[in-house]
Amino acid sequence: MTDAVRPVEPRERPPAPEPAAALPLDAHDVVASVDAGLRARILHDSLARTIWRIALPAIVSSLLLTLFASVDAYWVGTRIGAEGLAAVSTSLFWIWVIVSLAEMVSVGLTAVAARRHGEGRPDDAARAVGDAVLFAVALGLVVSVAGLLALDHLFAWMHTPPGVTALGRRYLGAWLVGAPLVYGYFAVDAGFRASGNTRTPFALLAAATSVTLVLDPALILGLGGLPRLGIIGAGVAGSATRGIGFAVGLWLLVRARLVRFARPNPATLALIARIGLPTALTGVLFSLIYVALTPITTRFGTPALAALGLGHRVESWLFMIGVGGGAAAAAVVGQNLGAGQPARAARAGWITLAFTSVPGLIMCVLELAIPRQLAAIFTHDPVVIVEAARYLSIAAWSQLVVTAEIVLEGALGGAGYTLPPMVASTALTALRIPLAAWAAARWGAVGIWWTISLTAVSRGLAMMALWRAGRWQRTSV
């Protein structure tokens, strides 16, 4: 149900805020980062400068996760081999399902809490954060138990080779055990971002990633007196990154009075779920479509599966830049809509997209110029390198518009407008299954790579069309 965003009385612009140079590492700094000065910047300051201040920490935070994922792929690919890399790649399709469900809470909470902050109702925003944290941890526990019980079936559905299946079960099983902490992290992260504070999540993630970058090879290889866990160690380290961020972040939220715990309000939970569910379903269906693509790719052997995962690792750097930009755009859009400034919210989406399109151009050039060198970072297997280089050369063109999909989908989520993006994205992604089967029969694995690239371009163009149409400006939250 939608109607026009109700106007609000004009607010007197407060004095200029203090410079945002230092990272808030204690509760007093966190409070300072969400005071009237920060809110004034979001609602009244230069949009380009405001978005840059908010987006940069969010983007760097996302890149820290990508750094860990890339280092993880390096250790698995070079120490365990192509089967290990393929096991992690196929496990990631299910991890995407897990993370997509967590994003239901994250996207819904960002829209609700950002709107309340924009309306000048911080207590209601804090209550929403508290309800979301409890909901997220409970949901993560359910997902963890269900995933562990279904673990054998998850790989059977993908028809992965026996060696890949054995390693994948260990990696994904270790990741599933930590799912409740991962879900909690998504809610804590959204609580900060909805207030416009992206620096504290960055500081949290920087500390957690520093720990897990050491923990990852130590658990895989058994260094420093730790047990040699092999690929299980990679799964443990992966979930630990967000688990550490959740524990410390929750403490900071409590001290900063950005979260209030009480009996969960069913109406708030229903609103968060209603807003976030379409985005979550988009991610779940996206992941399941990759599960359906896996048997098609498996026909070309383990190197093709490894190349698919390796290509994703390289592309994840740009993808996460888009995720960070989208998180910043969601906060700015949500607060400006709450303050009755839809035109300013619209400009925020385009400006954020312009910022993130520059790295897209750089990544396109790199994937065209040095695809083999990029692939060789993660594996010594010459067959995998050749196939991954083909994938990167074809996918390079999609890098020009891939951030349009991610940034504008985040901005649309911040407005609470999530159903139409879900329909558009899911429909275009679903086309991959028949198109990949048809293309693979004629051109082999190259046909699959072209299918993935062209549908990615289509999704980016679809999000641009939805943002330009402007119907999201009339969404009630």
Using the predicted structure, report yes or no on whether residue 190 has a pLDDT greater than 50: yes
The answer to whether residue 179 scores a pLDDT higher than 90 is yes
pLDDT given for residue 32 in this prediction: 31
Q: What is the structure's pLDDT at 8?
A: 37
What was the pLDDT predicted at 461?
95
The pLDDT score that the predictor gives to residue 11 is 38
Most confident of 75-79, 95-99, 100-104, 466-470: 466-470
Q: What pLDDT score does 9 carry?
A: 37
Residue 41 is predicted with a pLDDT of 66
What is the SS3 assignment for 26?
A: coil
pTM attached to this predicted model: 0.67
d(CA 344, CA 39): 14
Question: pLDDT digits over 42-52, tens only?
Answer: 676 778 888 88
- The confidence score (pLDDT) of residue 23 equals 28
* Helix ranges (DSSP H) in 299-401: 302-338, 342-369, 371-376, 382-395
Q: What does the pLDDT read at residue 25?
A: 28
Structure tokens, 152: 């054998």
Mean pLDDT, to the nearest integer, of 82-106? 85
pLDDT at 208: 81
Q: Is the pLDDT of residue 28 over 80?
A: no
Angle between helices 266-298 and 302-338 (to 10 degrees): 160
Quickly list DSSP for 380-391: --HHHHHHHHHH
Q: What is the mean pLDDT of residues 161-185?
A: 92
pLDDT at 39: 58
Lowest-confidence region among 28-32, 144-148, 420-424: 28-32
Which residue, among 33, 17, 35, has the nearest Cα to 25 in the 3D structure?
Answer: 33
| Contact (CB, 8 A) for 293 and 448 | yes
Q: With a cut of 60, say whether residue 3 has pLDDT above it.
A: no
How confident is residue 133, by pLDDT bands cut at 50, 70 and 90?
A: very high
Instruction: State pLDDT tens for residues 209-221.
Output: 888 888 889 999 9
Q: How far apart are CA 41 and CA 197, in angstroms?
A: 12
Tell me the two tokens of residue 428: 């275009």
Average model confidence (pLDDT) across the chain: 83
Residues with Cβ within 8 Å of residue 212, at least 6 apart in sequence: 68, 237, 238, 240, 241, 244
- 228-256 residue pLDDT tens: 999 998 888 888 878 888 999 999 999 98
| Stretch 111-133: mean pLDDT | 90
Six token digits for residue 345: 């919210």
* pLDDT band, residue 194 (cuts 50/70/90): confident
Helix/strand/coil percent split, the chain, to 5: 80, 0, 20
How far is the C-alpha of 190 from the C-alpha of 256, rounded, in Å? 15
Rounded mean pLDDT, 447-456: 93
Between 140-144, 388-392, 419-423, the lowest mean confidence (pLDDT) is in 419-423
Q: At residue 7, does pLDDT exceed 70?
A: no
pLDDT in tens, 398-450: 998 988 988 999 899 888 888 888 889 889 988 999 999 999 999 999 999 99
Angle at 215 between CA 211 and CA 220, to 5 degrees: 165
Structure tokens at 23: 């990272």
Out of 75-89, 248-262, 359-373, least confident range: 75-89
The answer to which of 131-145, 167-181, 281-295 has the lowest mean pLDDT is: 281-295
335: confidence class by pLDDT, cuts 50, 70, 90? confident
Report whether pLDDT(367) > 70.
Answer: yes
**In this model, does residue 6 exceed pLDDT 60?**
no
pLDDT band at 38 (very low <50, low <70, confident <90, very high): low
| Average of per-residue pLDDT across 448-475 | 92
Q: Report whether 296 contacts 441 (CB < 8 A).
A: no
Q: Is the pLDDT score of 34 beyond 60?
A: no
